Each structure stands twice: as structure tokens, then as C-alpha cells.
């Protein structure tokens, strides 16, 4: 899997998340790949992420792999209550979103930024990036306004996947299907039929949304 990913990422970038969770076999392959690679025309940048402190990595990973990784270790700042860092990354991600989504958004309202400052950001910088992309998808003009705040911070995901008690499974299963279908229809209406925006509102990926649209026979205008 790792070797295939490296080949596919030829002259590009490979992101491996949750480094602390990978098995010993993959760690061995990763150590070999990092130790033997050369900067040539097919050079691949590899970014490894973890939510653990560097002091804890020795108990989770191969010592030689840890030694190699610590040579280029970067600890990202915590976003919570860190206004300067939030503003910096918001600007960076806004530029990326404009480019990738073909948008021309120049400003984010102060009311939106104030909500960013108060948010807990449990997903840290990755969560902020997703939030900026979602805000851009929901914005039609050149300013991210406070009007999208109720949708921007609203999440249906937890409610959709809540477990049900076994003795009520049949009834609750039907309720769940109806609930999911209603929320999908609602999101599509808000997004004016744009599936990418609707998926972002629901906090699910587009493939999952497409599958549920087909499953529930939802009509898309």
C-alpha cells in the first residue's frame, strides 16, 4: 500500500495521517522509504501527522523512525483562543479555496471571525481549513457574511449516526431513514441543488451523499 501510494504520488506530495496508529510492518516500510529515497526528478514529499506530543512517539513508533522524523519535526500551534494564528491560517486557506473552487472572495465579516475566535477547534488547523472551504462554497458574492453562520457551524453527522437500542431497531431504523432523507433534501434546497455544497453542509463526503441520494430516491433539481 505504501509503495503504491509513493508511486502514485510521483513528483508530488503524500500525506499520512495519525502516524501513531500505523502498524509495525508499515513503520518498517516507511523507515526504509525515508532512509533510501533520493532527491531526483521523481522526488515525493512525505508529510506525516500525529496528534501526539513528540515525547510520546518513542513508545509508539520504531526508535530509528522517531529519530529520523524528529529531524524535520514541526509542531503546529493550538488554534483555541489564538486569534493571530487563526487570522493567519484563515487568510492562507482563503487563498487556496479561491483558487481551487474558482471563487473571488476577498473578505470575511468580523462577525464570522468572532465565531472563529470562540470556537474550540478540536480538529485544529485541518478543521479550520474545512471550515473555510465550506464557507466559500456557501458564499455567492465576494464576502463571507454572518448570514451563513447557522449553516456553517451546524452539523447533522452526529445525529444521523446515533446508535439505536436493539429492541427498537426496526422502528428507529425507519425514523433514521426518514430523518436522513429530510436532512439531505433540506441541505440540497439550501445548496440550490449543488451536491458539493450539500455534502459540506451535512459534513459528509460527496460519495456518501450520492449513495444516500440513490438509496432514498431523492429527486435533485
Give the model confidence (pLDDT) of 54-110 as tens digits.
888 888 899 999 998 888 888 877 888 789 999 999 999 999 889 888 889 999 999
| pTM (2 d.p.) | 0.55
Domains of the chain as residue ranges with CATH: 2-72 (no CATH), 83-152 (1.10.8.60), 157-215 (1.10.10)
Identify the pLDDT of residue 160: 35
Provide, rounded to the nearest whole percent, the portion of the chain with pLDDT above 90: 17
pLDDT of 39 above 80:
no
The SS3 of residue 184 is helix
> CA–CA separation, 132 vs 79, rounded Å?
14
Residue-by-residue DSSP string for 121-132: -TTHHHHHHHHH
Exposed e or buried b per residue across 52-67, where buried means at least 16 C-beta atoms within 10 angstroms of its C-beta: eeeeebeeebbeebbe
User: Quick one: cell of 177?
Assistant: 431513514
User: Quick one: cell of 151?
Assistant: 449553516
Identify the pLDDT of residue 155: 53
Give strand pairing partners of 14: 46
Pick from 23, 7, 6, 3: which is nearest to 15 by CA? 6
Pick from 50, 82, 87, 88: which is nearest to 69 by CA? 50
Q: What is the DSSP letter of 192?
A: T
Most confident of the following: 45-49, 132-136, 164-168, 175-179: 132-136
Structural contact between residues 164 and 176, judged by C-beta atoms closer than 8 angstroms: yes
Q: What is the pLDDT confidence band of residue 216, given thresholds at 50, 70 and 90? A: confident
User: Which of residues 1 and 90 earns the better pLDDT score?
Assistant: 90
Grid coordinates 506530543 are at which residue? 53
Supply the mean pLDDT for the chain.
Answer: 79
Q: Per-residue pLDDT tens for 6-29? A: 555 555 667 777 888 888 888 888
Q: What is the mean pLDDT of residues 180-204?
A: 82
Q: What is the pLDDT confidence band of residue 168, given thresholds at 50, 70 and 90? A: very low
Q: What is the mean pLDDT of residues 137-150?
A: 88
Identify the pLDDT of residue 40: 61
Pick from 97, 221, 188: which is nearest to 199 by CA? 188
> CA–CA separation, 134 vs 197, rounded Å?
7
Grid coordinates 478543521 are at which residue? 127
Structural contact between residues 185 and 171, judged by C-beta atoms closer than 8 angstroms: no
Identify the pLDDT of residue 111: 94
Give the pairing of strands 13-16 and 45-48.
Answer: parallel
Identify the pLDDT of residue 109: 95
pLDDT of 4 above 70:
no
User: Quick one: cell of 5?
Assistant: 501510494
User: Which of residues 69 and 156 earns the better pLDDT score?
Assistant: 69
Amino acid at each position: 500500500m505504501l509503495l503504491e501510494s509513493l508511486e502514485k504520488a510521483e513528483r508530488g506530495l503524500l500525506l499520512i495521517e495519525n502516524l501513531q496508529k500505523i502498524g509495525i510492518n508499515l513503520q518498517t516500510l516507511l523507515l526504509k522509504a525515508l532512509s533510501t529515497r533520493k532527491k531526483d526528478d521523481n522526488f515525493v514529499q512525505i508529510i506525516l501527522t500525529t496528534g501526539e506530543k513528540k515525547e510520546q512517539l518513542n513508545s509508539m513508533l520504531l526508535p530509528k523512525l522517531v529519530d529520523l522524523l524528529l529531524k524535520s519535526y514541526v509542531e503546529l500551534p493550538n488554534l483555541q483562543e489564538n486569534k493571530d494564528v487563526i487570522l493567519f491560517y484563515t487568510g492562507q486557506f482563503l487563498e487556496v479555496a479561491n483558487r481551487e473552487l474558482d471563487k473571488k472572495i476577498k473578505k470575511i465579516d468580523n462577525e464570522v471571525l468572532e465565531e472563529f475566535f470562540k470556537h474550540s477547534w478540536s480538529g485544529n488547523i485541518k478543521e479550520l481549513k474545512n471550515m473555510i472551504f465550506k464557507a466559500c462554497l456557501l458564499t455567492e458574492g465576494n464576502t463571507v457574511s454572518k448570514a451563513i453562520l447557522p449553516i456553517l457551524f451546524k452539523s447533522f453527522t452526529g445525529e444521523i449516526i446515533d446508535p439505536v437500542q436493539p429492541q427498537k431497531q426496526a422502528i428507529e431504523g425507519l425514523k433514521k431513514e426518514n430523518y436522513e432523507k429530510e436532512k439531505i433534501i433540506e441541505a440540497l434546497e439550501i445548496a440550490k441543488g449543488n451536491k458539493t455544497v450539500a455534502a459540506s453542509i451535512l459534513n459528509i463526503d460527496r460519495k456518501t451523499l450520492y449513495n444516500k441520494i440513490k438509496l432514498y430516491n431523492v429527486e435533485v433539481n
